[in-house]
Each structure stands twice: as C-alpha cells, then as structure tokens.
C-alpha cells in the first residue's frame, strides 16, 4: 500500500475537513455507564444517561447531517456494547482503505466485529489492525500527515505499524495526558490552516509543531470537559458543535466558519461528542 490514488471509490478520506459525503453512526439504544472507562463517565456515573433523550438528540444529529447532503449509515446496535454510539473508535478511513481498529478496553471489544460484518455485506475491503492496540479517536488525518495519539487506547506498536504500512505518509506520534482518553478530545484539525487545541494535555514540542502549521483556537478547561475540540467538520467551512461551547464557537465564527449548533449533551456524558460519534468513509 505505497500509494493511495483518488478515484470514485466507495471509500475515500484524506483529511478531517473535506466535504463529508458518507458516514457511519450507531444509535445509542443501549447507552449506559455500566463500567466507568473514562474521566467524563466518572463525573456522570451517579446521574446516568437518559436513553430517550440521548436517542432524540442523536436523531437530530442524524437529521442535521442529512440536511447537509451527508449519507448516514446506521450500524445495528447490540445490548452488550453500551459504547457503540462512538463509531469513530472502531476504525478510520485513509485514502481508499478502511482500517479496522482493535479496541483496547474490554467494555468495547467486539464493536469492531459489527463494522466488519457491515463492510463484508457491502463488499468493501478493509485492513485489519488486530495485532495492534489502536482506536480511531487517536487518529487525525491532514493530507500526507497522520497524527496518532499515544494513549491508554493506542500504543507505540500501532504507530510503528502504521509508519511501515504508510511509507508515503508522515505518521507523527503525539503523546498526551492519558486522562483525556483520545487525541481528538484535546486536538482537532478543522481546515488546512486552523486547528483546535487544549494545550495543557500536550507536550511543548507538539504545541510548537501545531503552532507552526495552524492557527490555533484554544479551548478552556471547562470547554475541554464539554469536548470543545471534538467538533465535526462537514466541508465548506461548516462545523457541527455543541451550543454549550460558546467560546470555541465564537472563535470558529471569527475565523469564518459556519457553526451548526446541535445539542447532544446527553451523549457526551459518556465521554464523546460529534467526532467520536462518526466514522467518515467518504469525503471529497
């Protein structure tokens, strides 16, 4: 896999911000904090998740995507997978290839099998990363640069494997404070020259790297907790974001982005927002 050509393939993705055409989601039908597996869940464990409200908010999210001409695929949900709404982590699309991830936590193991079944049914080939520990929330793509977060969910072995596989790409390992779960909870690229960042989670070296490449929108500690970085770009400088993240939204608008506010605050109680809830398979 030395070169990944552009074509009218069923799958294609080379950035986080090209026009989103096709994306995989899963309804939060069985969403629950059964076992605390991240810091956000720790905060909301006693409150719990209101399933009907989460389903209603997710439906509004899906409708918003469809209104912007995005084709939405809904994977079948299963009671044994309470985190299934977060489809981003089960894989990622790079070029024409879908890479299927290996889930690190027992509570999430098996979710990737649902994706593989759908891909098989659709006769879409994929690359299985089952020898490594990697989740899609740690993979951020910007053209020939692939940022891979080093976390409790993604290890150096996975980064090395990707580097060997993708020798035409610059695969950069980005260590960050483990309590923040995935890289996209502290950093996200929203255009070729703008990124959102929560500096406290990252090394000075990587902050300097990002500052040399992008105009940086800083996220406060409060808005990091409400996942201000975890927006979803759908192309043409349009971004889905939570209404509660007022400062991030204001900064995005000041830089010329159209911010589409959708409330999925019930879903973020489990530790993921718009990017976490989506697995793009076709952008362009």
Q: What are phi and psi of 139, to 5 degrees?
A: -115, 115
192 alpha-carbon distance from chain centroid: 17
Select which of 13, 26, 276, 277 is catalytic: 276
Select which of 26, 182, 185, 277 is catalytic: 182
Task: Mention every residue, 6+ apart, whose C-beta is less than 8 A from residue 150.
Answer: 138, 156, 159, 173, 174, 175, 176
Terminal C-alpha separation, the chain: 20
Catalytic site includes residue 277: no
Calculate Rg over the CA atoms of the chain: 17
Write the burial class of residue 151 (CB in 10 Å: 0-12 exposed, 13-18 middle, 19+ buried): buried
User: What is the rounded distance in angstroms from the CA atom of residue 101 to the CA atom of residue 246?
Assistant: 33
Task: Mention every residue, 6+ apart, whose C-beta is less than 8 A from residue 251.
Answer: 217, 218
Q: What are phi and psi of 218, to 5 degrees?
A: -85, 140
Query: Residue 172: beta bridge partners?
Result: 147
For the chain, give the longest Cα–Cα distance.
49
Q: What are phi and psi of 249, to 5 degrees?
A: -60, -40
79 to 31, 110, 144: CA distances (angstroms): 8, 12, 38
Task: Give the catalytic positions in this structure.
Answer: 182, 276
């Amino acid at each position: 896999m030395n070169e990944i050509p552009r074509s009218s393939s069923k799958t294609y993705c080379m950035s986080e911000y090209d026009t989103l055409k096709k994306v995989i989601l899963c309804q939060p039908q069985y969403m629950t904090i059964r076992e605390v597996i991240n810091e956000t869940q720790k905060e909301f464990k006693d409150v719990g998740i209101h399933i009907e409200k989460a389903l209603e908010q997710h439906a509004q999210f899906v409708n918003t995507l469809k209104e912007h001409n995005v084709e939405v695929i809904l994977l079948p949900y299963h009671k044994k997978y309470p985190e299934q709404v977060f489809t981003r982590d089960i894989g990622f699309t790079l070029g024409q290839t879908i890479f299927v991830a290996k889930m690190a936590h027992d509570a999430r193991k098996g979710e990737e099998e649902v994706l593989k079944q759908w891909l098989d049914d659709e006769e879409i080939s994929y690359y299985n990363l089952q020898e490594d520990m990697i989740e899609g929330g740690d993979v951020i793509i910007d053209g020939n640069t692939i940022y891979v977060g080093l976390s409790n969910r993604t290890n150096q072995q996975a980064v090395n494997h990707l580097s060997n596989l993708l020798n035409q790409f610059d695969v950069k390992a980005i260590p960050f404070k483990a309590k923040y779960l995935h890289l996209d909870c502290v950093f996200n690229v929203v255009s070729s020259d703008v990124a959102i960042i929560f500096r406290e989670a990252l090394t000075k070296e990587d902050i300097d790297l990002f500052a040399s490449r992008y105009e940086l929108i800083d996220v406060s500690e409060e808005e990091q907790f409400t996942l201000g970085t975890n927006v979803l770009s759908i192309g043409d400088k349009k971004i889905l974001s939570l209404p509660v993240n007022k400062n991030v939204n204001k900064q995005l608008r000041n830089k010329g982005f159209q911010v589409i506010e959708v409330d999925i605050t019930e879903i973020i109680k489990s530790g993921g927002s718009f990017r976490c809830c989506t697995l793009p398979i076709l952008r362009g």
